[in-house]
Amino acid sequence: MTDTQSTDTIDAFELVIEAMKINGLDTIYTLPGIPITDLTRKAQAAGIKVYSFRHEQHAGNAAAAHGFITGKPGVCLTVSAPGFLNGLTSLANATTNCFPMILISGSSEREIVDLQQGDYEEMDQLAIAKPLCKGAYRVLHAEDIGVGFARAIRTAVSGRPGGVYLDLPAKLFTQSLPADSGKKSLIKVVDAAPKQIPAPEAVQRAVELLKNAKKPLVILGKGAAYARADQEIKAFIEKSGIPYLPMSMAKGLLPDTHAQSASAARSYVLAEADVVMLVGARLNWLLSHGKGKTWGAGSSKETGKQQFIQVDISPIEADSNLAVAAPVVGDIGSCITALNNAMGSGWGKPPADWTGAIAERKDKNLTKMAETLAKNPSPMNFHSALSVIRNTIKDNPKAYLVNEGANALDFTRSIVDMYEPRRRLDVGTWGIMGIGMGFAVAAAVTGEQVIAVEGDSAFGFSGMEVETICRYNLPVCVVVMNNNGIYKGTDVNPLGDAMAPTQFVKNARYDLMMEAFGGVGVTAKTPEELKKALDEAVASRKPTLINAMIDENAGTESGRITSLNPTLAKKKA
């Protein structure tokens, strides 16, 4: 080959990079190694932002959060076999949460894998990924890279979003194509997440139900937040006058301080509502499957049962747990726009005895909460610590709040108000631990401040990524709610020969982990110390870890989901 000929070819690395670039995939979350090391270097040299992690699961979680935050698939790139498996957990989690993400893994030689002849990191990755994500594709030939990416992108973002696995065998990277035909083989995806317009009769059916409701309620889920139909949803809520509950990641879609938010009267409205409209929220375990004493106590006496409207892009979501009287299938923007139009002008507000009863309970509970937050016990507890964070978010409404743990999750969700859409990133549908630092990195690369409120146990799953945060000098302030253990730090081993399974080293200095990599570490024993450290972190935007020492007696087993804990549930029964 002469020099001129060699410049006229395009290799598989370049094709992958170009396929990403023409489709606006501008960021890769990765952990380099065989066979993708050079891909990470070349992608960076070509202008793609490359964030390199210490464990693939956190790179994958970052890609998932990137998908939720931007509406474009987040890309995670891993090595074969073990790296792939580490990334797979986050791909499955992204799929469960309906976040668009593409996991790209290098893989070993097909011929050897298929005959199980023992290749380096041999594993049939495509087969393993398939049941755990929305779609899985393999590209064997350089000329198919364009199609592979187009399929991955469409699968990830169209309809119900989810995770996609893209398998790129090591051998692919040794291939090249003539530059001309190579470039032509790439596909710029047009309208990757097409609008899906709901049927007019479905919209009408829903409007009739709402019109006749005496005690209507709207539940906004993270699908509603993801849909980026913020204005339409606000218009619908305010025009209809219907009280609403945000699921945790829908907090801030409307400010939590909105007059129609029924969060502070949650158990009352769930039990009493007669018509419930779900918008991008599933009736899964987080909503007690729509059953049991959480639901229907009040209305069942009057109307027999509660009736449901479900606005969702998935046509098979309705009736998954109980009968849905009015499914409205389409993208949330189109559905809510259609509902707003069908409601016409002069829509009557819900009966005043319903909204009045909610307001009464809300006021009572908010007053009680304010009293609790004003207390300053020693040692500090979840409430007094979170009161500080609540004020910080109020003053910095654009900041991202990452949140995981058991009690650290439950208390933060109910205490810390959100004011902007898609700013709260948490454990999601699985209630998973370990998303913390991955989500924090993806949120921080947007340039906004991130505050990650972490249980000391939850933090442990991704703690090593504080090095990643320091390396990229990201504006992340981690607050570790340190109560010396899982749930709390007071368990004892009856035999006394070792620590109890839920105990950690007492008074651990998590702050020193951040200092080890050049960030700022602070121990805070009082709300005043916590406030000072938080203010400094937000002002300086330096990577910071605040080790917030919480009363080790504070917290309950499994937080608010004790009933899911077999032995304890039995004791209680």
Residue ranges that bind ligand ADP, judged by CB under 6 A: 97-98, 160-161, 221-223, 226-227, 247, 249-250, 280-282, 284, 286, 312-314, 317, 331-332, 429
Classify each residue of 265-292 as buried b or exposed e, where b means 16 or more C-beta atoms within 10 Å of its C-beta. Answer: bbebbbbbbbbbbbbbbbbeeebeebee
Q: Which lies closer to ligand ADP via its Cβ, residue 93 or residue 468?
A: 93
Q: Can you read off the two tokens belonging to residue 520? A: 């700022």
Q: Which does 251 bind (CB under 5 to 8 A by kind): ligand ADP, Mg ion, none?
A: none
For residue 218, what are the contacts with CB-CB under 8 A and spacing of at least 6?
236, 237, 240, 242, 243, 244, 245, 276, 277, 279
Q: Positive or negative, the Cα torsion across 47, 54, 443, 507?
A: negative
Q: For residues 334 and 198, is the Cβ–Cβ distance under 8 A?
A: yes
313 binds, among ligand ADP, Mg ion, none (CB under 5 to 8 A by kind): ligand ADP
Q: How far is the CB of 72 from ligand ADP (least distance, A)?
A: 13
Of these partners, ligand ADP, Mg ion, none, which one is at the site of residue 479 (CB under 5 to 8 Å by kind)? none
Assigned token pair, 501: 């399974």
Q: CB under 5 to 8 A by kind: which of Mg ion, ligand ADP, none does 232 bind?
A: none
Nearest approach, Cβ of residue 391 and Mg ion (Å):
23
Q: What is the largest CA-CA distance in the chain?
A: 85
Least Cα distance to 170 among 131, 209, 140 occurs for: 140
392 φ, ψ (degrees, to nearest 5) = -65, -40
Residue closer to ligand ADP by CB (options 98, 406) is 98
Q: CA 368 to CA 124: how far, in whole Å? A: 56
234 binds, among Mg ion, ligand ADP, none (CB under 5 to 8 A by kind): none
Backbone angles phi, psi at 29, to 5 degrees: -105, 125
Footprint of Mg ion on this chain (CB under 5 A)? 455-456, 483
Minimum distance, C-beta of residue 506 to Mg ion, in the bound complex (Å): 12
Position closest to ligand ADP via CB: 223
CB of 384 to Mg ion, least distance (A): 16
User: What gap in Å lies between CA 521 and CA 515, rounded to an integer?
Assistant: 5
E strands, 41-107, where? 49-52, 74-78, 101-107
Interacting partner of 247 out of ligand ADP, Mg ion, none (Cβ under 5 to 8 A depending on kind):
ligand ADP
Distance from C-alpha of 179 to C-alpha of 185, rounded to nearest angstrom: 10
Based on CB atoms, which residue is closest to ligand ADP, 48 or 225?
A: 225
The label of the residue with tokens 């398939």 reads 130
Please report how close the Cβ of residue 339 comes to ligand ADP at its closest, in angstroms: 13
Spell out the alpha helix ranges (H) of 3-81. Answer: 3-7, 12-22, 37-45, 56-70
* The residue to which tokens 């200095």 are assigned: 509
- Name the residue nearer to ligand ADP (CB basis): 70 or 314: 314
Q: Look at the chain and count its residues.
A: 573
Q: Choosing among Mg ion, ligand ADP, none, which partner's interface includes residue 249 (Cβ < 5 to 8 Å by kind)?
A: ligand ADP
Could you say which of ligand ADP, Mg ion, none residue 455 binds, taking C-beta under 5 to 8 angstroms by partner kind? Mg ion
Q: Are strands 424-426 and 176-178 parallel, antiparallel or unpaired?
A: unpaired
Rounded to a whole number of angstroms, the minimum distance from the CB of residue 68 to ligand ADP is: 10
Question: Please, which residue, 72 or 542, has the CB nearer to ligand ADP?
Answer: 72
The smaller minimum CB distance to ligand ADP, of residues 202 and 534, is found at 202
Instruction: Report, in Å, the least distance between residue 134 CB and ligand ADP.
Output: 11
Whether 206 contacts 343, CB under 8 Å: no
Q: Shortest gap between Cβ of 489 and Mg ion (angstroms)? A: 7
* Contact criterion met (CB below 8 Å) for 510 and 480: yes
Nearer to Mg ion, 74 or 555 (CB): 555
Check if the beta carbon of residue 213 is closer than 8 Å to that of residue 355.
no
Comparison of 290 and 489: residue with beta carbon closer to ligand ADP: 290
Min separation Cβ 424 and ligand ADP, Å: 10
> Least Å distance between CB 483 and Mg ion?
4
Min dist. Cβ of residue 62 to Mg ion (A): 24
Residue type, 472: Y
Nearer to ligand ADP, 44 or 314 (CB): 314
Which sign, positive or negative, has the C-alpha torsion 514, 518, 523, 527? Answer: negative
**Which tokens in the block code for residue 405?**
């743990």
80 contact choice in Mg ion, ligand ADP, none (CB below 5 to 8 Å, kind-dependent): none
The one of Mg ion, ligand ADP, none whose footprint includes residue 456, by CB under 5 to 8 A per kind, is Mg ion
Closest CA to 438 of 136, 90, 145: 90
Nearer to Mg ion, 294 or 502 (CB): 502
Which of 387/483 has CB closer to Mg ion?
483
CB 28 within 8 A of CB 40: yes
Nearer CB in complex with Mg ion: 249/458: 458
Which of 89, 230, 95, 246 lies closest to 161 in space, CA to CA? 95
Dihedral through CA 351, CA 326, CA 157, CA 146, nearest 10? Answer: -160
Q: What angle do CA 379, 381, 387 make, to 5 degrees?
A: 125
Least distance CB 423 / Mg ion (angstroms): 24
Q: Which does 282 bind (CB under 5 to 8 A by kind): ligand ADP, Mg ion, none?
A: ligand ADP
Q: Which does 61 bind (CB under 5 to 8 A by kind): Mg ion, ligand ADP, none?
A: none
